[in-house]
Structure 1
């Protein structure tokens, strides 16, 4: 307000504020603070924001370790809690059962149904028969105070009547069965009509071990066991069975086996036989890490069967037999190895094996009407001194030079061929699988 304006208010003749005391206050606005500017990348912070670097304290001023341990108020480091071992599965035990049998010998006929827990051994005397109803689950655990594996020992007769919908189960009294959790079913000097229909056996030392006994089986499944089925001076007839994930699928010693419409797969060894007689008909022997079939001094008949993705499909040493309408393919080594054996092969296929299709060593016999093709190590190799007739086969080509190139015969260079392959087929036979 100018001075003229003040005179008009206070000193003029008709001033409205003449003679009055007026208090006037004024607010002077402050200028806004300057806006903060971001520091440039890599720029040094202002000097007032720097903190002085602290020097380490003299160790003589720090408490000693002994003083800390003796101080009740000090915080002491606690040892780490042990970590659980996750490599071993935590398995729960089967405790509840409809029937519990502890180291029992049965002298009269017995029927089992529901859930049965056997502790130790259940022995069926020679005069008794054990019948097992469909859907029965039989679990095995060691006996009280014993570390021995539990067994079902049959001297009399066993009739396991499972069905497709309600199989009979033989398993350990533990979840997630492992091989060798229990002993297995033992047939001991039992030549009666023992039968296993639609049974599932798992986690055993030996699923079914027959000693001087006889039995039949239909729809039996044995898995995760050391040995699936073992025959010692025994006879067995099995149909529609599956033996898988065992160290050894089948073991035969001085025995007879008739196996039909079945599968032996994903074992370490498929079928191992010594001084035995066996027939395989419509059997699939697949993905065993070693031989699909290994037989020593046996009589054999292999018909309409598949041997694939094993180390070797078939290895036969000594003995005699025949191979008919079989397919040996995609094995990691040879399709078939025949050592000192007498054999007749008809209408079979040896294809796409990583080794030799058919490897001979002092083997005698013949192969006819069969297919040899696309075996990386050669179609046929005779590394012995016995002649072998390989006439009228298809070798993947109609050119004789190419056919001869796939047949490894060291004696051929001396004009004394041991493998006779001419005449050969000009096209693939329709009868070969």
Structure 2
């Protein structure tokens, strides 16, 4: 009965007529037929094992498993030519991304699930100072011409130009801040122009400030104070000038000043056909500290430091007394065809402490030390030097070129390129000086005189001092 039931379930009998008619069996029929034969044989074997008198498995339960073969998968058909490949295959064949299209510092990767580092947020540029404009002021003057006497106090904002007429006087009280900004619709620098008279009454505790209407002033932010044909008694006491094109510029004018501080400007003080007397002033961090042209300057107890060029004078007359000329990147003082008198002044750590071309004058109690080139250069000048020092300069202590004059009672020593060098054809008297030694041969070795080899020395140094003079600085 079991075999008949299996035979009916496999549906073999309905397929027999079609097989006889066509002459060949289908694959499905063959599989069913093989399965039927296997089942019949298995059933016969099981009857022998379970029902015979000497059946070895009689009374036992046996589990029978059988594997039916599955039809093979259909063969893969080749893709037709020109057919686009699946997206996954195209992605696998792509090359690495162009690094130029990625932010700098981003590694190139083809893994879409990889974690890409995020660029750091941009950092503020701390090299440039943050500059804020002045917004509030007690007084605002816009392109104003003052025809009557005026007093400024508090915070004053000048937009454009403030002009003091010839008949007017401008007085500025202690602690006043005068700020300058371009005028409306103009790109020209704002200036204070004085044709009349200006009196700046600052004190040591409350100086008057002239500066641009911006924080962190830079050179050239505003024009400066201009004295124009003003020969009245102009005075600047304890004032600070910052960020100007020219701090104080005088044309055919005269003025005096005490405690003036000029910094961060292109030119500190400029005199054109003018006269100025300054005391206790400081001019620093400018392109040029002072400029003189056909003018007169009397500068006392002051400091000119850390400028590109300290003092530049042409066809002028100037006096320096108790002045410190320090750390200027070029000449401390450069004068052309000038009359000069330098007393008790220090010239140190400049490229060249002093360069005089033409003109005439004298040096007294001056010290030239630690300059990167020569202590002093004298070219075609008539000069008298007394009780001064030329020591520890990287170049020559005193360089002469067709200079005429004398040096006496002075000190020379430790100058790397020589104590004195005469490279001209004019004689120069260098008698009664201290050369750092009492040995004549050693002294002669420090004096560079090309004519000495010919027996016609132009520099006379004998007799010399046997010890350092007390009066020399």
Residue matched to 1:323: 363
Q: State how many pairs are aligned.
A: 367
Residue matched to 1:195: 235
Residue matched to 2:226: 186
Q: Scaled by the length of structure 1, what TM-score is found?
A: 0.82
After superposition, where does 1:289-308 map in structure 2 within 5 Å? Answer: 289-308=329-348
Query: How far 1:89 moved relative to its partner?
Result: 1.9
User: How many Å separate the matches in 2 of 1:62 and 1:289?
Assistant: 64
After superposition, where does 1:111-130 map in structure 2 within 5 Å? Answer: 111-130=151-170
User: How many Å separate the matches in 2 of 1:88 and 1:329?
Assistant: 36
Q: Secondary structure at the match of 1:292?
A: strand
User: How many Å separate the matches in 2 of 1:134 and 1:429?
Assistant: 47
Task: Describe the superposition over 1:359-401 as per-residue Cα deviations: whole angstroms up to 9, x where unpaired.
Answer: 0000000000000000001000000000000000000000000
Task: Describe the superposition over 1:208-231 as per-residue Cα deviations: whole angstroms up to 9, x where unpaired.
Answer: 000000000000000000000000
* 1:345 to 2:345 alignment: no
User: How many Å separate the matches in 2 of 1:80 and 1:267?
Assistant: 40
Alignment partner for residue 458 of structure 2, among 404, 418, 422?
Answer: 418
Q: Secondary structure at the match of 1:171?
A: strand
Residue matched to 2:178: 138
Query: How far 1:88 moved relative to its partner?
Result: 2.4
User: How many Å separate the matches in 2 of 1:159 and 1:99?
Assistant: 19
User: How many Å separate the matches in 2 of 1:79 and 1:141?
Assistant: 41
Alignment partner for residue 89 of structure 1, among 129, 148, 154?
Answer: 129
Alignment partner for residue 222 of structure 1, among 262, 276, 284?
Answer: 262
Q: CA RMSD in A?
A: 2.0
* 1:175 to 2:206 alignment: no
Task: Describe the superposition over 1:184-235 as per-residue Cα deviations: whole angstroms up to 9, x where unpaired.
Answer: 0000000000000000000000000000000000000000000000000000
Gaps of 5+ in 2: 1-86, 98-117
Alignment partner for residue 399 of structure 2, among 352, 359, 362?
Answer: 359
| Structure having the larger proportion of residues in helix | 2
Alignment partner for residue 371 of structure 1, among 411, 419, 424?
Answer: 411
Off by >3 Å, runs of 4+ in structure 1: 60-63, 78-87
User: How many Å separate the matches in 2 of 1:343 and 1:286?
Assistant: 23
After superposition, where does 1:207-246 map in structure 2 within 5 Å? Answer: 207-246=247-286
After superposition, where does 1:52-63 map in structure 2 within 5 Å? Answer: 57-59=88-90
Query: How far 1:95 moved relative to its partner?
Result: 1.0
Query: How far 1:80 moved relative to its partner?
Result: 9.7
Alignment partner for residue 375 of structure 2, among 323, 335, 339?
Answer: 335
Gaps of 5+ in 1: 1-55, 66-77
Query: How far 1:83 moved relative to its partner?
Result: 6.3
